Amino acid sequence: MNVESRREGTSLVLKADGRVDGTNASEFQDAMKSEINESDRAVVLDLQDLTYISSAGLRVVLLIAKDLQRQGAKMAACSLSDPVREVFVISGFDKIIPIHDSQDSAIGALS
Amino acid sequence: MPVAFKILVVDDEPDLEPLVLQRMRRRIRSGQYSFVFAHNGVEALEVLRQEEDIDMVISDINMPQMDGLTLLEQIPKVDPNVRSIIISAYGDMKNIRTAMNRGAFDFVTKPLDFDDLQITIDRTLAHLVEWRDALSSRDRLVSLENELNVASKIQQSILPTEFPLENDFAAFASMEPAKEVGGDFYDVIYLGQERVGVAIADVSDKGVPAALFMMSSRTLLKGSAIGKYEPGEVLKEVNDLLCEGNEAMMFVTLLYAVYDRTTGKLTYANGGHCTPYVRRADGSIIALPLTGGMALGILDGQDYHQDTFDLLPGDTVFLYSDGVSEAMNREGEEFGLERMAQVLAENTTEDPRAVNEAMFEAVRAFAGDTPQSDDITCLTLCRREKA
* CATH number of the domain within which B77 lies: 3.40.50.2300
Q: Which of A63, A66, A91 sits opposite B294 (nearest CB)?
A: A91
Residues B313 and B373 in one domain: yes
Q: Which residues of A touch B292 (CB under 8 A)?
A: 92
B144 in a domain, yes or no?
Answer: no
Residue B297, domain member (yes or no): yes
B204/A58 touch (CB, cutoff 8 Å), yes or no = yes
Report the residue of A21, A33, A53, A59 to disrupt the B interface, i.e. the one with the largest count of B CBs within 10 Å: A59
Our count of domains for chain B comes to 2
Q: Is B180 on the interface with A (CB under 8 A)?
A: yes
Whether B300 and B377 share a structural domain: yes
d(CA B83, CA B122): 12
Contact A56, B181 (CB under 8 A): yes
> What's the CATH code, domain A2-106?
3.30.750.24
Same structural domain, B70 and B176 = no
Q: What is the CATH number of the domain that holds B225?
A: 3.60.40.10
Q: For residue B149, is it within any domain?
A: no
Q: Please indicate, yes or no, if residue B153 is contained in any of the structural domains.
A: no
ipTM of the complex: 0.85
Across the interface, of A23, A63, A92, the residue whose CB is closest to B294 is A92
The answer to whether residue B147 sits within a structural domain is no
Residues of A (76-95) whose Cβ lies below 8 Å from B: 89-93, 95
B241, part of any domain: yes
Domain assignment of residue B247, given as a range: 159-383
> Where in chain A are the domains?
2-106
From first to last of the 387 residues of chain B, give the pLDDT tens digit: 467 899 999 999 988 999 999 999 999 999 999 999 999 999 999 999 999 899 999 999 999 999 999 999 999 888 888 999 999 887 777 788 788 778 888 888 888 889 889 988 988 888 888 778 777 766 665 565 666 777 777 788 778 888 999 999 999 999 998 876 668 999 999 898 999 999 999 998 777 778 878 888 888 898 888 878 899 999 999 999 899 878 888 999 999 999 999 999 999 999 999 999 999 998 999 999 988 899 999 999 999 999 999 999 999 999 999 999 999 999 989 999 999 999 999 998 999 999 999 999 999 999 999 988 889 999 999 999 864
Q: Are residues B45 and B171 in the same domain?
A: no
Nearest CA among B167, B215, B225, B218 for reference residue B195: B225
* Residue B373 touches partner A, C-beta closer than 8 Å: yes
Pairing of strands A42-53, A11-20: parallel
**Threshold 0.90, pTM exceeds:** no
Which residues in chain A (11-70) have CB-CB distances under 8 A to chain B? Answer: 21-23, 25, 54-56, 58-59, 62-63, 66
- B183 contacts in A (CB within 8 Å)? 55
CA distances from B83 to B61, B105, B375 (A): 16, 6, 44
Q: Look at residue B154 and tell me if it is in a domain.
A: no
Same domain, residue pair B68 and B180: no
Residues B163 and B273 in one domain: yes
DSSP summary character for residue B114: H
Strand order in the sheet with A42-53: A2-8, A11-20, A42-53, A74-78, A99-100
Residue B148 domain-assigned? no
